[in-house]
Amino acid sequence: MADALQTTYNRLPVAFEYGEGAWLWDTEGRRYLDALSGIAVCGLGHAHPKIAAAIAEQAHTLIHTSNLYRVPLQEQLARRLCALGGMDQAFFCNSGAEANEAAIKLARLHGHRRGIARPKIVVMEGSFHGRTLATLSATGNARIQKGFEPLVEGFVRVPYDDPDAVAALGGDPEIAAILVEPITGEGGIRLPRPGYLQELRELATRHDWLLMLDEIQSGIGRTGQWFAFQHEEIVPDVLSLAKGLGNGVPIGASLVSGRAIDLFTPGSHGTTFGGNPLVCRAALAVLDVMQEEALCEQAARHGDVLLRLLQERLAHRPEVVEIRGRGLMLGIELDRPAAELVRRALDRGLLINVTAERVVRLLPPLITDDDQITEIADTVADIVSRFITKHKEQKVTV
């Protein structure tokens, strides 16, 4: 009864019935290798026995009370995440968009504390921060903003990976924060130059701005560190998390440190479902498995292998603009729109995604093994090569 659903997605003609590890099976019994992991959500793959057991046990014990009361599992998860990221406090919510909404509110509170009547946040062109009205307004993509005007005010947009453009705003007394992705996700897996985050950190400290990092896609081991900012050895003031934190159970988090501590006070922010015992138990189980199986290190190692294999197979083609990324967050940019590759991969039993119109995005589960990494590289290289050849032939025919 698909017609009973609002048309917010162009869905592919497949429905999945069950999964195991990096594999999914559809309702017709056909097997697919998942190189997207629900857009960086299922880092531990599908039906991981320890995650399933933790969820089932908690469901039989206590699913939800309210944030009106103490939630010991939430306190435990906050301590674990803060220790991993060098942060101090956590607020739990239901999604990445909610985590970024919390960050935006923190920036405004910080601005008002400094005496700024209309605080502004520096955001980046090509960024993606969510689809609620405030996060949509922060996002640097006019296409997805279209039709939802008037947008929320208070965002100043500059080019990504351009610290000089941010520095040029140093004279604006209304700036209160910077919001940036360490690696863009929806924006096409763009990796900034080394030192970019360090320069933003220095600018934020100098001007008393909050440095707020959106790690909704790049966090929880995806890039080979627990958080992508740790590649540059900085500490942000605000850190937004979601996706991989619950391995499919909806949970988001906004972590704070330094000047962002204690900006929220009782009644200034809240959530009904966020951080309930069920989702916190799932997230704690995710962290346990990641540490027991050293999955950050595995993501770094397998990401290097996948990047090398893709470069060996595709980098010589002039139609391939760049193959880039870090850990298991990789993109192949072509010189033309490439949306049809998603269906071609599906027909070959591989789940991928195309973002920013012409970037093949690969986000396989962190538990993907050596043979599966090779299969992803072989299949992607083959469909991209065939796609390029087909377009060449069509051009000659015309």
* Domains contained in the chain, CATH given: 16-34+294-396 (3.90.1150.10), 49-293 (3.40.640.10)
Handedness of CA 130, 341, 309, 293 (dihedral sign): positive
Where are any strands of DSSP class E within the chain? 16-20, 23-26, 31-34, 89-93, 120-124, 155-158, 175-180, 210-214, 238-241, 252-256, 320-326, 329-334, 350-351, 353-355, 359-362
C-beta of residue 368 within 8 angstroms of C-beta of residue 328? yes
CA distances from 125 to 197, 240, 333, 392 (A): 16, 19, 18, 32
pLDDT tens digits for 2-39?
689 999 999 999 999 999 999 999 999 999 999 999 99
* pLDDT confidence of residue 391: 80
126 annotated binding-site participant: no
Is the pLDDT confidence value at 364 over 70? yes
- Reading the block at residue 272, the tokens are 């009904």
User: Which residues have CB under 8 Å from 27's CB, separation 6+?
Assistant: 15, 16, 17
How big is the CA angle at 250 (ends 287 and 101), to the nearest 5 degrees?
A: 105
Alpha-carbon distance of 164 to 176, in angstroms, equals 17
Query: Where does the pLDDT of residue 322 fall: very low under 50, low under 70, confident under 90, or very high at 90 and above?
Result: very high
Say whether 217 counts as a known binding-site residue. Answer: yes
What pLDDT, in 10s, does the model give residues 109-135? 999 999 999 999 999 999 999 999 999
Residue 97 marked as a ligand binder: yes
Catalytic residue among 34, 91, 120, 128: 128
**60: Cβ–Cβ under 8 A, 6 or more apart, which residues?**
none
- DSSP letter assigned to residue 149: P
Q: Is 214 a catalytic residue?
A: yes
Tokens of 274: 């966020």
Note the pLDDT of residue 398. 60
Please say whether the beta carbons of 61 and 72 come within 8 A: no
Catalytic residue chosen out of the listed positions 34, 91, 155, 214 = 214
pLDDT band at 392 (very low <50, low <70, confident <90, very high): confident
Tell me if the bond preceding 150 is cis, omega within 30° of 0: yes
Report the interhelical angle of 295-314 vs 277-292 (nearest 10°): 70
Pairing of strands 320-326, 329-334: antiparallel
Residue 392 catalytic?
Answer: no
Please report which confidence band the pLDDT of residue 169 belongs to, taking 50, 70 and 90 as the band edges. very high
Rounded Cα distance between 107 and 137, Å, is 15
Instruction: Work out the mean pLDDT of the chain and round it to a whole number.
Output: 97
* 51 labelled ligand-binding: no
DSSP 8-class letter at 5: S
% of the chain with per-residue pLDDT over 90: 97
Q: Is 271 annotated as a binding residue?
A: yes
User: Catalytic site residue 369?
Assistant: no
Catalytic residue, candidates 155, 229, 243, 387: 243
Distance CA 147, CA 336 (A): 26
User: What pLDDT sits at residue 1?
Assistant: 57
The model scores a pTM over 0.85? yes
Residue 53 has what pLDDT? Answer: 98
Sign of CA dihedral 337, 137, 40, 60: negative
215 has binding-site annotation: yes
